[in-house]
Structure formats: C-alpha cells, structure tokens
Amino acid sequence: MTGAARTNTRDIARAAVRAELAQVAFELFRRKGFDKVTVDDLAAAAGVSRSTFLRYFGTKEDAVLGAFDGHDRRVADALRARPADEAEWPALRRALDAVIERYHEDPAGSLETTRLVRDTPALCARHLEKQYTWRPALSRALAERSGAPEPTLAQSVRAAAALDCLNVALDHWLASDGQEDLVALLDRAFAAFTTT
C-alpha cells in the first residue's frame, strides 16, 4: 500500500468516526438540550474518552457546526463555475444551490439541525460568526468572475446580501416546519431585491 493510499484510507476512517461522533452528539443534544450536555456526556455516549472526542471536535458546538464546514468553499466554487455572461445577482442565487442541496437530500435531518442551531443561542451565534467568513470568499469569487484584482464595494454588498437572503429563507422554512419549499423561499428572497 502506498503512502497516498494509506493517507486516503486514514482520512476516510477519520471522517467516518467524526460523522459517527457528530450523530451521537446531535441525538444527545436533541434529547437533553444543548446546554445540559457536557463534553464528558458526549464522550460517554459515544463510548470514547474525552480526549478522543476533543481530538475530533474542539468544542461541543463544533460537533453540530461541523456539518457546515466547507460550505463557503462549495458556494465560492459554484459561483466561479457559473456562466461568465451571467449577472452577479443571479449567479449568487444559483451558487447557493450548492449548500441547499443537502436540505433536499435529508429534509427531516436538515430541519432538526437548523432548529437546533437557531434555537440554541450559543450555536446560532457561532454559526453566524462562521458564516460571516463566507462573505470574503464570495466577494473574491465575484471579483475573479469579473477579472478584477480585488472585490468592489458592490460585490461585497451583494455577497453579504446573498447570505442574508439565505438566512431569511431558512428562518421562513423553519417557521413553516419544513412545509414550504426552501428553493422557492430563497428565490423569493432574492427577488425581493430586484422588485420595487
């Protein structure tokens, strides 16, 4: 077995353990409430030591918010892949499909995760803090599409507004208990900026 194959196998195994720990954590948070669960509780429920749990997740918040890791990269890559002649606002809307596809793959699980994050102040604050770092990635992707060396003010504003549209659509989707179509809500949120 080559070094690259070993590394790949190790990465796959690590991702599987991480996913299993996150699932155990989520179930415990759902049953007992996020604030009532400690890292020791999470480790015990997963059958691992506290140090093993902390090797995969630095905090209990990370056990939930890890599900959103890489979203900034996926959206920025999707934005770069949009047709060059497509206007920035529609391109941003279509690029967000890269992150809302998981809501179609697992609507019930996505609804529960969204509810947990939105209903837990510590998680909501950390999620919004993490999401704030998406804006520069999206702004840079817009600049690259236009051939500019740096994002313009307008591109930064559009990136920030797109993320706010996503959050408002998610809030309405959550309020409907997942009954409303998230894609339609996101489309309507984006359309609100283009209608007078």
Three-state DSSP state, 6: helix
Ranges of the chain with pLDDT below 70: 1-7, 195-196
- pTM as predicted: 0.83
pLDDT of residue 6: 57
Domains located in the chain, CATH noted: 3-61 (1.10.10.60), 70-191 (1.10.357.10)
Both tokens of 80, joined, read 């770069």
pLDDT of residue 140: 96
Q: CB burial class (10 A; 0-12, 13-18, 19+) of residue 72?
A: buried
Phi, psi of 68 (to 5 degrees): -100, 0
pLDDT of residue 2: 57
If one counts every other C-beta atom within 10 angstroms of the C-beta of residue 138, the result is 25
pLDDT of residue 193: 85
pLDDT of residue 103: 83
